[in-house]
Each structure stands twice: as C-alpha cells, then as structure tokens.
C-alpha cells in the first residue's frame, strides 16, 4: 500500500494530557493506574482515570454534545497543536476533503446510565434534558469531532470493541486510496462508565491489583479511558517522520468473548499487515502487544506473535501504564509506537515481574534504549475482531 504520513498526532490518558506527559511517565517508570475512585463505583479494582474531566463541560455552540466521552475528545483535540494542524490541512484541502473516522466501544453510555437513574418515578420517562443522539449514540463522538474541527468530509465511527481505533486506520487508508478524501482524522475515544466497570467485573475479568500483562500471576485487566487522534495524509502532502506502512484485519469466528486459543485470527491480522507493508518480520524492531493481562488473551497473542517472530523481537504491553482503554486501545498503542520510534526506546511491560513460563515471545521487563524504525502494533477485540498496524520511519 502507499504509506500514509501521520503528520500530527496527540494523546490524553491517565498518564496525562499530551505527548510529553505520556512520554515523561514512560521514561520515569510511572503508572497512571489507581485504586478505583470513580464516583459511585465501589469496586476493588484499579482504573486509569483522567483527572479533571468532571469539571470541564462542553459549552457554547456544541453544548448539546456535553458528556464524559465528548469532553475527553475535546480535551484531546486541544493537545499538541492537533486542532491547529487540522485547521491548516482544512485550508489546503477544503473541509469537504478531510474524513473523520473514529473508534469507540461504549461512546457516551454514562450519560444514559445517569438518565436512567433520573427517570420519572411515576411514568418511567427519561428526563427531558437527555440527548441520546448527541451523547450516547455511537456516532456522537464522530459528529462532535467533525463539528469541532469544522470538517465536512465523510465521517463514520467504528465500534468493534477493543480493535475499534486500530481498524479506523484501515478504513481511512481505503477511503484515501479510493479518492473519497485527501486526508483523514483518525483515532478513538473511550471513557469510564458503569457498564464497563461492572460488566467486566461480572465477567470476572478485572484484577484487584494494577494489571500485569504476561505475568505468571496475571489475573485480569485494569480499565482505563483515553482519547487519541492522528492526521493521515499522502506522503506528497504531509509533513512528518512516521508513516502507516500497512494494516491487517481478521475475525476469529470462534467465540463471542474469548479469542481463538491458538491466536489464529491474531496471526492472520499480523501477517496481512506485514504483507501489505512489504516488510519482513525480521525488519520489525518492536511489537506493541494488545496485552490485556487476561490469561486467555495474553496466551493466544503470545502464540500468534511467537509463531511469526519467535523470540527475536522485543514485545511489551502498555496496559500496565494506562489500563485497558477498550475502544481507544488501538490509538493508544499507535501513539506509544510513534513515541517509541521517535525517541528510540522500547517501553517495558510495567508490573510484569515473573513472566509466564508458557510465554515464548520476548517480553520486555526493562526499558530498552535502541533505534526503533518499524513497529507492529496490535489491537484485538471481543468477538474476535483483530487489527494489526505496521508503523515506521518515513523513508
């Protein structure tokens, strides 16, 4: 495929606002996870909560879109000069030629949860100030983002659980190749809510400690929230040192929530990404794992990764730093991969103390300082939705 330049990108998560905050935490070996202090959620687990969202409502012309998910999106768009970069692109291409393709899993469902708590006690009616279309609807964050950035190109929101904001890169690449747009704002937003906190607890998938990907004693995920965005452009038009080189997608067709135990779908996605990028597995300098810290997911991904890379390529998961940000997990991995390439380091799997002896991959437990030119980044979701991306330095 024709590489696409990431001419601007940004990230907000529990490590802080903007690229510098995330990079500083990674270099200082500082996790953003904390014992659950989400209001009204009395759970013995750790979460990755972004500070201050509750006090930063959306006001003005887009006030109807005010909800935790869109607040997170708005704060993210204002980091690292991202909105300004899109404004410049809008001048070059025109607002009709820039697409917005985002991923989310639960969107603003917290707003609906709140509305149900305030139902009329006699009629059961939802409160009149509840705005489903602008808040909980899956397209809400896409609609908000395009309006906030003043864009009028094609727009869509992908919701394939935890692969959502990785699959958007594939969708954008196809859309640009087809000539439907000249550039695309891609990314994902997912915010904390009771549905995920209590839902994953009911599935017995959350850990009572900060999560430990690939650890022999791992016992589940830590749920987090994040927003991340990237501006994709053709090489002839975009400035930037990092490019999307390839993407691969697959479905397990195996189980509603469990991955294929041999990681067949995951392996297929990685193979397709490498093939589309024209990159040999030996040229990959780092594999940024999906690495949720559940027994089944880590084991399946390890089988897929080790079958392609053996133990020759360093691998790590970012979940011990940020938590599992669900629909935003793909873009979080992409941005961390960009930091790895730009700063020449491989972050370690935080909290991983005793690697599961069943793991065959090279799990990095101490930061590596080395040149990183090409990264394979994974995001795998419920239902066996798999997406892998190859990112690398612009050649």
Catalytic residues: 162, 290, 324
The H or E element that residue 89 is part of is helix 82-93
Instruction: Give the integer Cα–Cα distance in Å for 219 and 298.
Output: 11
What letters, b where the CB count within 10 A reaches 16 and e where it falls short, cover 166-196?
bbbbbbbbebbeeeebbbbbbbbbbbbbbeb
- Closest listed residue to residue 390, CA positions, set 239, 245, 255, 177: 245
Strands (E), 104-220: 155-158, 183-190
Helix ranges (H only) for 232-373 are 264-277, 295-309, 319-322, 329-343
Torsion sign (Cα): 294, 300, 306, 309:
negative
Torsion sign (Cα): 254, 335, 311, 354:
negative
Radius of gyration of the chain (CA): 20
- Taking 3-state DSSP, the helix, strand and coil percentages for the chain, each rounded to the nearest 5, stand at 35, 25, 40
Backbone angles phi, psi at 96, to 5 degrees: -80, -10
Which residue matches tokens 């940000």? 325
Instruction: Give the integer Cα–Cα distance in Å for 83 and 77.
Output: 6
Please name the residues in contact with 8: beta carbons below 8 A apart, sequence gap of 6 or more.
Answer: 80, 81, 82, 85, 86, 230, 231, 240
Could you tell me whether strands 98-103 and 155-158 are parallel, antiparallel, or unpaired per DSSP bridges?
parallel
Instruction: Give the integer Cα–Cα distance in Å for 201 and 7.
Output: 39
């Amino acid at each position: 495929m024709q590489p696409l330049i990431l001419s601007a990108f940004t990230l907000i998560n529990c490590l802080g606002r903007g690229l510098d905050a995330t990079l500083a935490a990674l270099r200082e070996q500082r996790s953003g996870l904390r014992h659950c202090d989400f209001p009204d959620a009395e759970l013995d687990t750790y979460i990755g909560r972004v500070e201050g969202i509750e006090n930063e409502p959306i006001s003005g012309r887009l006030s109807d879109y005010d909800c935790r998910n869109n607040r997170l999106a708005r704060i993210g768009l204002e980091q690292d000069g991202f909105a300004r970069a899109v404004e410049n692109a809008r001048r070059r291409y025109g607002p009709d030629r820039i697409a917005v393709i985002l991923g989310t899993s639960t969107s603003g469902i917290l707003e609906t949860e709140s509305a149900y708590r305030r139902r009329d006690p006699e009629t059961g009616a939802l409160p009149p100030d509840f705005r489903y279309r602008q808040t909980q609807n899956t397209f809400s964050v896409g609609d908000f983002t395009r309006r906030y950035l003043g864009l009028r190109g094609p727009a869509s929101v992908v919701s394939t659980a935890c692969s959502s904001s990785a699959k958007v890169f594939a969708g954008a690449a196809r859309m640009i190749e087809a000539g439907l747009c000249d550039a695309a704002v891609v990314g994902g937003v997912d915010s904390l809510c009771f549905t995920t906190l209590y839902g994953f607890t009911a599935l017995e998938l959350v850990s009572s400690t900060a999560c430990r990907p690939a650890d022999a004693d791992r016992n589940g995920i830590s749920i987090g929230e994040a927003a991340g965005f990237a501006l994709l452009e053709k090489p002839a038009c975009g400035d930037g040192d990092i490019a999307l080189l390839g993407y691969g997608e697959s479905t397990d067709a195996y189980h509603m929530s469990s991955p294929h135990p041999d990681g067949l779908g995951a392996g297929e996605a990685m193979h397709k990404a490498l093939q589309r990028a024209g990159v040999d597995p030996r040229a990959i300098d780092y594999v940024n794992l999906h690495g949720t810290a559940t027994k089944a997911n880590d084991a399946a991904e390890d089988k897929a990764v080790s079958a392609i890379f053996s133990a020759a390529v360093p691998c790590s998961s970012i979940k011990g730093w940020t938590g599992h940000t669900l629909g935003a997990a793909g873009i979080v991995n992409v941005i961390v991969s960009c930091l790895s390439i730009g700063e020449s380091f491989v972050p370690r799997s935080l909290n991983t103390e005793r690697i599961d002896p069943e793991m065959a991959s090279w799990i990095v437990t101490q930061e590596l300082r080395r040149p990183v030119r090409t990264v394979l980044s994974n995001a795998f979701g419920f239902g066996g939705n798999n997406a892998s991306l190859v990112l690398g330095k612009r050649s």
